[in-house]
Amino acid sequence: MTTSEHKDAVAPVAVITADGVTGSLGLVFDRFVPLIAGAIFLVVWEVFVRWRGIPPYVLPAPSVIFQSLWTNAGGLMRALGNTALVTLSAFVLATISGIALGILISLFRTVEKIIWPYAVALQVTPIIAIAPLVIIWVGLSRVWLALLILSWLVAFFPMLSATVVGMKSVDRGLQNVFTLYRATRWERLLRLQLPAALPFILSGARVSSGLSVIGAVVAEFVAGSGT
């Protein structure tokens, strides 16, 4: 093999290796871009607060925030645990009650006429408006129950609406097939309507999970202001 042939055989390997290194560096850079941007933002924030001499009660510096988090870690973790418990409980209750009531509304026209208008009215009512009333009705000795109710109210309607829409969006052709084979109402529910509504229910659960957090935080804010 001549010298020129040897260089031609080695050159592609070098090119492939360089491309691989470049691709790896690009992948690492893409993964760490959010961290780098966040670090730059915190540094700019810290410098701006110190340079302008802004009081901590107006805009605390990141160092002050981290110091407070470290100093009050025990109390903050307990508060986080309480909020997480209320949020999770409200989400589970909203999921179960929303799906169950949505099925009843879809199956029975009378139930829909009775419940649906009140559910819509409850949904459009701001949670901040009814939170003091719920806290007063439940009592300050059971604030946790008021928090649970308020968080459940916020998370309930998305599950109910998603279940009803999903149950009513079943393909008409499949419904005719079930009618042709004389399927009972429960067979139609379990084998056709619920499977067809599952994507809608999961979408409603995604919305409901976020709203349950908002409801719990708003309820805690109102309860804390009241006490």
Report pLDDT digits (tens) over 172-193.
787 777 777 777 777 777 788 8
Instruction: Give the residue with greater pLDDT, 95 vs 221.
Output: 95
Q: Other C-beta atoms within 10 Å of 143: how many?
A: 18
Instruction: Give the residue with greater pLDDT, 28 vs 79.
Output: 79
Q: What is the pLDDT of residue 41?
A: 92
CA geometry: angle at 191 spanning 186 and 194, to 5°?
85
Three-state SS string across 162-174, please?
Answer: HHHHHHHCCCHHH
Give the tokens for residue 87: 């949020």
Beta strands in 99-227 (DSSP E): none
Model-wide pTM > 0.75:
no
Report pLDDT digits (tens) over 87-116.
999 999 999 999 999 888 888 888 888 888
Nearest to 101 by CA among 146, 152, 137: 152
Report pLDDT digits (tens) over 4-40.
555 454 444 444 455 555 666 667 667 778 888 888 9
Q: What is the pLDDT of residue 179?
A: 75
Q: What is the pLDDT of residue 13?
A: 44
State how far the Cα of 11 lies from the Cα of 111, in Å rounded to an integer. Answer: 76
Nearest to 149 by CA among 122, 114, 185: 122
What average pLDDT does the segment 50-69 reach?
A: 88
Q: What is the pLDDT of residue 51?
A: 92
Give the tokens for residue 216: 């719990």
Asked if residue 49 lies in contact with residue 59, where contact means CB atoms within 8 angstroms, the answer is: yes
Beta strands in 95-220 (DSSP E): none
